[in-house]
A and B are shown apart, each in its own frame.
Chain A
Amino acid sequence: MPPATTLQAIRFGDGLRAGDPPGLAPAAQLDGPDAMQRRYPGPSTSALEAMRRELVATRRQLQEVEDDSAGADGPSGSLEEMLRGHRRALADEDLATVQRTFARALDSDTPYRERLVRFWAGHFAVRAMPRIFRAAVSSYIDEAIRPHVTGRFDAMLRAAVLHPIMLRYLDQAGSTGPSSPFGQRQGRGLNENLARELLELHTLGADGPYGQDDVHQLAKLLTGLGVDQQAQMVFRRRRAEPGSFTVLGRRYGGGRPSLADIEAALIDLAAHPHTARHLSHKLAAHFIADEPPPALVDDLAATWRESAGDLRAVALALAEHPAAQSADRAKARQPLGLLVAALGALGVTGAEVMRWNRSLVRQVIVHPLIAMGQPWQEPRGPDGWPEHFGHWITPQGLAARIDWAMTTPARLRRRLPDARDFVDHALGDLADDDLRRLVAGAENNTEGVGLVLASPGFNRC
Chain B
Amino acid sequence: MDRRSFLRGGLMLGCSAAAMPFLNHATFASVPGDNRLVVVILRGALDGLDLLRPAGAPELSALRPTLAAEPGLPLDNFYHLHPSLEGLMPLWRAGDLGFVDAVSTPYRDRRSHFDGQNLLEAGTAMDAPRQLQREGWLNRLLQVMPGAHGSTAFAIGREAMPVLDGPAPVPSWAPDTELRVGQQGRRLLAALYELDAGFSEAGMQALALSQSLDPVEGEGGGHLAQVDAFARFAAARLSEDTRIVALSLAGWDTHAGQAQSIRRPLERLERLILSLRAELGPVWERTTILAMTEFGRTVRENGTRGTDHGTAGAMLTAGGAVRGGRVLGRWPGLGESDLYAGRDLMPTADVRAHAAWALRGLFGTERAMLEQAVFPGLDLGRDPGLLDI
Residues on A lying within 8 angstroms of B by beta carbon are: 332, 389, 393-399, 401-403, 406-407, 410-411, 414-416, 418-420, 434-435, 438-448, 450-451, 454-457, 459-460
Contact = CB atoms under 8 A, between A and B. Distances in A.
Nearest to A398: B206
A129 B250 CA distance: 46
Contacts of A443: 43-45, 113, 182, 184-185, 250-253
Contacts of A446: 158-160, 179
A411 B179 CA distance: 10
Contacts of B376: none
Interface in B93-145: 112-114, 117
Given A407-B212, A444-B248, A456 B185 contact: no
Interface in B178-211: 178-179, 181-182, 184-185, 188-189, 191-193, 195-196, 198-199, 202-203, 205-211
B184 A399 contact: no
Q: Is the interface of B mostly helix, strand, loop or mixed?
A: mixed
7 contacts: A399-B210, A402-B213, A407-B179, A414-B160, A442-B185, A444-B44, A456-B192
Contacts of B112: 440
Given A439-B188, A444-B114, 7 more contacts: A441-B113, A444-B159, A445-B114, A447-B185, A451-B185, A451-B188, A460-B198
B162 interface: yes
B158 A411 contact: yes
B195 A444 contact: no
B344 interface: no
Contacts, number: 131
B165 interface: yes
A369 to B, nearest CB: 16
B84 interface: no
Nearest to B190: A438
Contact of B193 (A397, A410, A441, A456): A456
Query: Which 6 residue pairs are nearest across A and B when measured between Cβ atoms?
Result: A443-B44, A395-B205, A443-B253, A456-B196, A398-B206, A399-B209
A398 B203 contact: yes
Contacts of B192: 434-435, 438, 451, 454-456
A444 B202 contact: no
Contact of B158 (A410, A440, A448): A410
Interface of A is mostly: helix
Given A403-B211, A444-B250, A395 B184 contact: no
Contact of B162 (A415, A420, A448): A415
Contacts of A406: 179, 181, 185, 210, 212-213
B239 interface: no
Interface string B248-272: 1011110000000000000000000
Given A420-B114, A456-B199, A442 B188 contact: yes
Nearest to A389: B198
B172 interface: yes
Contacts of A411: 158, 174
A435 B248 CA distance: 25
Nearest to B192: A455
A198 to B, nearest CB: 35
B199 A393 contact: yes
A442 B184 contact: yes
Interface in B31-50: 43-45
Nearest to B157: A410
Contacts of B114: 418-420, 440, 442, 444-445, 448
Nearest to B162: A415
Contacts of B203: 398
Most A CB contacts (10 A, CB to CB) among B117, B174, B181 go to: B181
B199 A459 contact: yes
B211 A399 contact: yes
Contact of B210 (A389, A403, A416, A460): A403
A444 B199 CA distance: 24
A444 B158 contact: no
A395 B185 contact: no
